Chains A and B, each alone.
Chain A
Amino acid sequence: MTQTANTSSVSYFVKLAGTLLLISVVVAGLLGLVNYITAGRIAAINQEKTAASMQEVLPATSYEEVEYTGSDALVKTVYAASEGGYVVEVTPSGFGGEIDMVVGIAPDGTVSGVSIISMSETSGLGANAAKESFRAQFAGTSGTLAVSKDGGEIDALTGATITSRAVTSGVNAALAAAADLG
């Protein structure tokens, strides 16, 4: 066994490091290639998803990003729709992390629609927030909303109301942001 005979020699360590380096370089190269193939598609899918959600909550021919000067950390970006009103992207925290959603605010200051871009809520429970029946409750509302358990008008998805409260707080943040901008 030559390997055990010279385990402490410099050349043995060079061989160890060299082998690992070679494997890493090959893997990194392949990853770069896969990333090159997929990066464009992934970006396009995400953009498409956001665009589709924006169209759904407040149809308009174009959207323009406006600067949000308020201090609400839930508000990510605010877009002004070409036909009046705003689309606000908010990220409240649900049960399984951030819920990325857009809220459409009509020119009269009421909610025109809510759409969820991505979330990691429990499937079968909180994930039902994406369903039309839940989201439709927000349409036409304004002011400050709350789930029915807290004396509000939004029927929660489950008894625990974590996701429902999160979505409601997101809508509230969007309403407030739009009200600030006028």
Chain B
Amino acid sequence: MNFKKQFKDGLLTQNPVLVQLLGMCSTMAITTTLFNGIGMGVAVTFILICSNVVISLLRKVIPSKIRIAAYIVVIAGFVTMVDLLMQAFLPALSESLGIFIPLIVVNCIILGRAEAFASKNSVAASAVDGICQGIGYTVVLIVMCVVREFLGSGTFGGGLLGPEGAGIRILPEQFPAMMMILPVGGFLTLGVLIAVVQYFLAKDKKGADET
């Protein structure tokens, strides 16, 4: 088990969103305010750790023919629990994320990590994988939120800071481009972000090959 490598994989070289291109739907849909991004990131990370641990525990018990069905039952169970707990204890966040919480069930990151990692590795390594991949996902969400919120609403920290939780205003109200917080802005931001990260990853790799 190599914690440092797993962490680097999750954050950068195997980042679930930017490199594996998983979980794009939620990434584009909810990254309009910082509060949403952090909330969604934490929810997915929590579910990812739980499902990775349970699936890793059961990896020798679940026959391979029904593994996908078994994974989905486990994941759906955790998602519903988080959904109910959030409604009960964090109603503001639950309202803001709405339908995207139940949709974590079909978020490819969780099923993808269950199939690619947890079903083949030890419980401890799977838990670490859940943490690292979850952090990678959360960081991307936060970056997307900050960029889109700044360009689209002209604020920072929406849902958390400022008057009425509307965020701290940076750009005067007439400047922000509204399209940045609409779906089209999600595609643009994510596309640019992926391009930038891929450029640096490729450069890094080339440099490493030459030396």
Question: Count of B residues near A, CB < 8 Å?
Answer: 36
Decide: A123 and B32 in contact? CB cutoff 8 A.
yes
- The reply to whether the CB of B81 lies closer than 8 angstroms to some CB of chain A is yes
Lowest 9 A-B CB distances belong to which pairs?
A27-B77, A38-B88, A41-B88, A124-B153, A38-B84, A34-B81, A123-B32, A42-B87, A120-B98
Q: A16-B65, A19-B63 are in contact. Are A158 and B88 (CB under 8 A)?
A: no
Residues of B within 8 A of A3 (CB): 63
Decide: B32 and A24 in contact? CB cutoff 8 A: no
Q: How many residues of A contact B (CB 8 A)?
A: 27
**Complex contact A20–B66 (CB within 8 A):** yes
Q: Which of B24-74 contact A (CB under 8 A)?
A: 32-33, 36, 58, 61-63, 65-66, 69-70, 73-74
Contacts of B181 in A (CB 8 A): 122-125
Asked if B96 is at the interface of the complex by the 8 Å CB criterion, the answer is yes
* B70, B152, B181, most chain A CB atoms within 10 A: B70
Residues of B within 8 A of A (CB): 32-33, 36, 58, 61-63, 65-66, 69-70, 73-74, 76-77, 80-81, 84-85, 87-89, 91, 95-96, 98-99, 149, 152-153, 158-159, 164, 178, 181-182
Q: Across the interface, do B88 and A23 meet the contact criterion of CB distance under 8 Å? A: no
Q: Is the interface of A mostly helix, strand, loop or mixed?
A: helix
A31 is contacted by which of B36, B80, B88, B159 (Cβ under 8 Å)?
B80
Sampled A-B contacts (5; CB under 8 Å): A27-B74, A30-B77, A31-B80, A38-B85, A42-B87
